[in-house]
Amino acid sequence: MWFSDIFCIMGWLAIALAKDYWWLDLGRLSIGFGIGLICYVVPVYIAEIMPKNVRGGFTSANTLMICCGSSLTFFVGTVVSWRILAVIGAIPCILQVIGLFFIPESPRWLAKVGQEARLEAALQRLRGKNADISQEAAEIREYTEAFQQLSEARILDLFQRRYAHSLIVGVGLMMLQQFGGSNAILYYASSIFESAGFSTTFGTRAMAILQVLNSYFNHDLNMGFSFMLFLDMYRYYFADSTGMCLSCLVVALSFLLQDLQQMKVLTPIFVLIGILAYLASLCMGVAGLPWVVMSEIFPINIKDSAGSLVTLSYLFCSWITTYTFNFVFAWSSAGTFFLFSIICSATVLFVAKLLPETKGRRLEEIQATLTHFLQ
């Protein structure tokens, strides 16, 4: 996390002080390295330090706060210059560098590297000085020792049959989320509103306000009900994916009517409704659930390689969709959102067939089940 923050701070400062476009390119590249590192490390760290009854709530809170932060950035970006916005972006990174001095190392990582004394000290600090950690510490040691009998997996080792289920779930959820339009719609919202004949400033601010309110609302629910997502994970994910599918369908039909010169006056309104409904469904769970699942399903001997592969697939698919969006949207605005709608509907089938239930289960139990190991 320190390493990531250094990249991000350098990137934001390069953008804020940019003299020409090379500074912007280098700054964005540096931030890309930082985000690529931290978007996997943080949910894994949270999952490894939390007890099973609140693990999901805290892991999901990470993504909800990301939604909240990006929404605030959207909103602030409409009233300040991009240089000031870059300086603001560096502030959370600096605060995190300071905050990292006050948090313990992951007990599961300490077990992996054989630091038994620090493992118990970290676990005791996390659970409270009067908590009995003996059973949990013993389970962590037993599981770690069992998997350390296997060699540390490389990227090619991930494609063994025992890891197939975990890998398909991790990569599949990331691909479906991105090809379903999540980042593309966020990045090009202004272009979408402009094509629909709607005010880009009003539409962007409406998106930001909705995401902030939705993030805080969901954070309260998640923490109050010990991760609402996993109280009935499948039904909740189905509802969100269905909401995204129908929202994209509304936008697609609106643009289709515009192309056919029918009810053009309604196009801006329905596009706004569809985009806002899509973002509400996305932030309710689909944006965060893949990262929650990914942080839980990979055993310790493949966690580094698997996490790298899944994060790479997420960022690569994000790049594909954001790079091609303008070309596809120029070809057919209605067709673009029909495609997003189809992919969102495919997510429902994927979840029904392959997504494991993790509610109330220890990380070791989830991972052993998925890899058919230690049964």
3-state secondary structure the chain: CHHHHHHHHHHHHHHHCCCCHHHHHHHHHHHHHHHHHHHHHHHHHHHHHCCCCCHHHHHHHHHHHHHHHHHHHHHHCCCCCHHHHHHHHHHHHHHHHHHHHHCCCCHHHHHHCCCHHHHHHHHHHHHCCCCCCHHHHHHHHHHHHHHHCCCCCCCHHHHCHHHHHHHHHHHHHHHHHHHCCHHHHHHCHHHHHHHCCCCHHHHHHHHHHHHHHHHHHHHHHHHHCCCHHHCCHHHHHHHHHHHHHHHHHHHHHHHHHHHCCCCHHHHHHHHHHHHHHHHHHHHHHHCCHHHHHHHHHCCCCCHHHHHHHHHHHHHHHHHHHHHHHHHHHHHCHHHHHHHHHHHHHHHHHHHHHHCCCCCCCCHHHHHHHHCCCCC
331-336: list long-range contacts, CB under 8 Å, 24+ apart. 333/192, 333/195, 333/255, 333/258, 333/259, 334/252, 334/253, 334/255, 334/256, 334/259, 335/252, 336/252
Residue-range definition of the domain harbouring residue 361: 2-103+153-370
- Evaluate if residue 328 carries a pLDDT over 90: yes
Residue 247 covered by a domain: yes
CB atoms near residue 91 (< 10 Å): 11
Query: Domain count of the chain?
Result: 2
- Kindly state whether residues 118 and 208 are assigned to the same domain: no
Structural domain includes residue 16 = yes
With beta carbons less than 8 A apart as the criterion, state whether 254 and 275 touch.
no
Q: Do residues 29 and 113 both lie within one domain?
A: no
Average pLDDT over residues 93-121: 89
Query: pLDDT tens digit string along 70-84?
Result: 778 877 887 889 999
Same domain, 256 and 284: yes
pLDDT at position 253 is 93
Q: What is the pLDDT of residue 228?
A: 42
Residue 2 has pLDDT above 60, yes or no: yes
Burial (CB count <10 Å: 0-12, 13-18, 19+), residue 161: exposed
Q: Is residue 235 domain-shared with residue 288, that is, in the same domain? A: yes
Tell me whether residue 217 is in a domain: yes
Is the separation of the CB atoms in 245 and 78 below 8 Å?
Answer: no
**Mean pLDDT computed over 77-106:** 92
- Judgement on whether residues 320 and 175 belong to the same structural domain of the protein: yes
Same domain, 279 and 363: yes
pTM, entire model = 0.72
Angle between helices 233-259 and 333-354 (to 10 degrees): 170
**Are the CB atoms for 181 and 279 separated by under 8 Å?**
no
**Is 268 contained in some domain?**
yes
Tell me: do 262 and 289 sit in the same domain. Answer: yes
Mind listing the pLDDT tens digit for each residue in 168-183? 888 998 999 999 998 8
Closest Cα to residue 209, out of 72, 81, 63? 72
pLDDT of residue 50: 85
Q: Give domain status of residue 44, yes or no.
A: yes
Are residue 336 and residue 193 in the same domain, yes or no?
A: yes
Residue 63 to residues 43, 294, 297, Cα–Cα distance (Å): 8, 13, 18
Average the pLDDT over 278-292 and give the result.
77
In a domain, 375, yes or no: no
One domain for residues 18 and 82: yes
Same domain, 140 and 259: no
Residues 137 and 203 in one domain: no
**Whether residue 113 sits in one domain with residue 83:** no
Which CATH number covers residue 23? 1.20.1250.20
Q: Determine the Cα–Cα distance for residues 205 and 56; give it in Å rounded to an integer.
A: 30
**109-168: pLDDT as tens digits:** 888 888 888 888 899 898 888 888 888 888 888 777 766 665 555 667 777 777 788 888
Q: What gap in Å lies between CA 54 and CA 318, rounded to an integer?
A: 30
What's the whole-number average pLDDT of the chain? 82
pLDDT of 221 > 60? The answer is no
